[in-house]
Amino acid sequence: MGAPYGPAEDDLTTLVRVAVYRTARRLRSEAQAAADITQSQFCVLASLDRYGALTPGELAEQERVQPPSMTRTVAALDELGFVERGPHPSDRRQVLVHLTPDGREVLTMVRRRRTAWLTEALSELDPEQRKAVRETAELLLTMVER
């Protein structure tokens, strides 16, 4: 199977944890190579793409971080030109964070790079292995969406 994972090598929990962690780390490194942004910044861009304009508080809740952390993330993305802050239509005390065209372009570039890496890795597997990966991915999604 590859390099040993320690004393609990045959333990399913350890194997899944290590496999998911290493896969996520590799996908994060692909994002970093595509655009010099952090994983947190990428997640904010992805949330804005998925849900549309949100307040910093809504973004903090969505990303499960504290509001001050989100304020710093939004400020960094604004400085990079990937988001814009604008007035809230019904509450002047609030601002809405919008994805800019440059932010959408970075998001697309990162997704393409991640997809290319994963497509290449999957292409090296035989059809039965790809089927097993598909089934495993579906089960992992079921586990995390409970």
For helices 56-63 and 39-51, the axis angle rounded to 10 degrees is 110
Nearest to 74 by CA among 90, 50, 105, 98: 98
Is residue 51 within a helix (H) or strand (E), and if so which, with residue range?
helix 39-51
Please report the pLDDT score of residue 124 as a whole number. 97
State how many domains the chain has: 1
Please report the pLDDT score of residue 39 as a whole number. 87
Question: Does residue 62 lie within any of the structural domains?
Answer: yes
Question: Does residue 75 lie within any of the structural domains?
Answer: yes
Question: Does residue 3 lie within any of the structural domains?
Answer: no
pLDDT tens for each residue of 69-90: 999 999 999 999 999 999 988 8
Question: Does residue 121 lie within any of the structural domains?
Answer: yes
Question: Does residue 4 lie within any of the structural domains?
Answer: no
Question: Does residue 86 lie within any of the structural domains?
Answer: yes
Q: For residue 53, give the amino acid letter.
A: A
Query: Which residues form the domain of 48?
Result: 12-144
Please report the pLDDT score of residue 59 as a whole number. 96
Question: Does residue 60 lie within any of the structural domains?
Answer: yes
Nearest to 77 by CA among 109, 114, 48: 48
Confidence of residue 8 (pLDDT cuts 50, 70, 90): low
Please report the pLDDT score of residue 1 as a whole number. 47
Distance in angstroms (rounded) separating the CA atoms of residues 133 and 141? 12
pLDDT tens for each residue of 88-140: 888 888 899 999 999 999 999 999 999 999 999 999 999 999 999 999 999 99
Please report the pLDDT score of residue 89 as a whole number. 87
Question: Does residue 7 lie within any of the structural domains?
Answer: no
- Specify the CATH number for the domain of residue 48: 1.10.10.10
pLDDT tens for each residue of 9-66: 568 899 999 999 999 999 888 877 778 888 899 999 999 999 999 999 999 999 999 9
Residues 6+ apart with CB under 8 A from 45: 37, 77, 82, 83, 99, 103, 104, 106, 107
Please report the pLDDT score of residue 66 as a whole number. 95
